[in-house]
Amino acid sequence: MLQHYGPQLINLLASLMLLLAFAMLAQRRIMSLINLFAAQGFTLFLSTALVAWLTDQSHLYGSALLTLVLKVIALPWILHRLIRRLNVKWDVETLINIPSTMLIGIVLVILAFNLALPIALLAGTLTKGTLGIALACVLLSFLMMITRSKAVPQVIGFLSMENGLFFAATAAAYGMPMVIEFGIALDVLVGMVILGIFFFRIRERFDSLDTRHLEKLKEH
């Protein structure tokens, strides 16, 4: 039964990833943004576990577990703590209004699918569309980082971009070697810590987390 619906389920999870990426694009509240990020991580965990089960590759269970621990529990927890410590719970205005951002997002999705199509045809994996969605997720997260001026949403965009990359790896190549995955996980964690320190420094310097203030640092 599950074997039969497996590819369809992966498609469903892939579109959930895309849906969550769009939801993050359209979200103003930082708290909801973090929750959406956690949800995206959970979807990633589900899809990785499913791919592991469908293709019988045990090392993928490991990466699924890693995803669960790191992206669903650890990073959201750190982010929540940061928000509380920095006291930046309020809404963030986007640089471009939300429907326009989403319109650009739709164009990106179309582009991503067409770019990924030739590669996906070669890959011969479970489903053809997932690589396109993964690429679309990466581009959408990028777009989110561009359209936000506050530091925390930008970091969430960065993390969600990594989600997209990871999804691309599981969907197109059945995961990467475990060593690389651990390396990336460590990188993300360390990056998070460094960015956290940056947050404090930025706020100390400018009394705000608006990264537009960083323009002042440029030499005249």
Given the rule CB under 8 A, which residues bind another protein?
A: 5, 8-9, 11-12, 14-16, 18-19, 22, 26, 97-99, 102-103, 105-106, 109-110, 113-114, 117, 127, 129, 132-133
Q: Which parts of 26-150 fold into alpha helices (H)?
A: 30-55, 58-67, 75-86, 98-123, 130-147
**CA–CA distance from 58 to each of 10, 48, 61, 88, 165 (Å)?**
18, 11, 5, 41, 20
- State residue 94 phi and psi, 5-degree precision: -90, 160
Least distance from C-beta 133 to another protein, angstroms? Answer: 8
* Three-point CA angle 61, 65, 69, nearest 5°: 170
Least distance from C-beta 15 to another protein, angstroms? Answer: 3
Least distance from C-beta 198 to another protein, angstroms? Answer: 31
Is the CB of 9 or the CB of 54 nearer to another protein?
A: 9
Least distance from C-beta 172 to another protein, angstroms? Answer: 15
Is the CB of 22 or the CB of 45 nearer to another protein?
A: 22
Q: Is 148 strand, coil or helix?
A: strand
Is the CB of 74 or the CB of 115 nearer to another protein?
A: 115
Separation between Cα atoms, residue 88 and residue 81, nearest integer Å = 11
Is the CB of 100 or the CB of 201 nearer to another protein?
A: 100
Least distance from C-beta 191 to another protein, angstroms? Answer: 30
Least distance from C-beta 119 to another protein, angstroms? Answer: 14
Classify residue 112 by its DSSP letter: H
Least distance from C-beta 55 to another protein, angstroms? Answer: 19
Is the CB of 117 or the CB of 190 nearer to another protein?
A: 117
Count CB atoms within 10 A of the CB of residue 114: 10
Residue 122, burial from CB neighbour count under 10 angstroms (0-12, 13-18, 19+): exposed
Is the CB of 16 or the CB of 68 nearer to another protein?
A: 16
Is the CB of 8 or the CB of 214 nearer to another protein?
A: 8
Residues 6+ apart with CB under 8 A from 75: 37, 38, 41, 159, 188, 189, 192
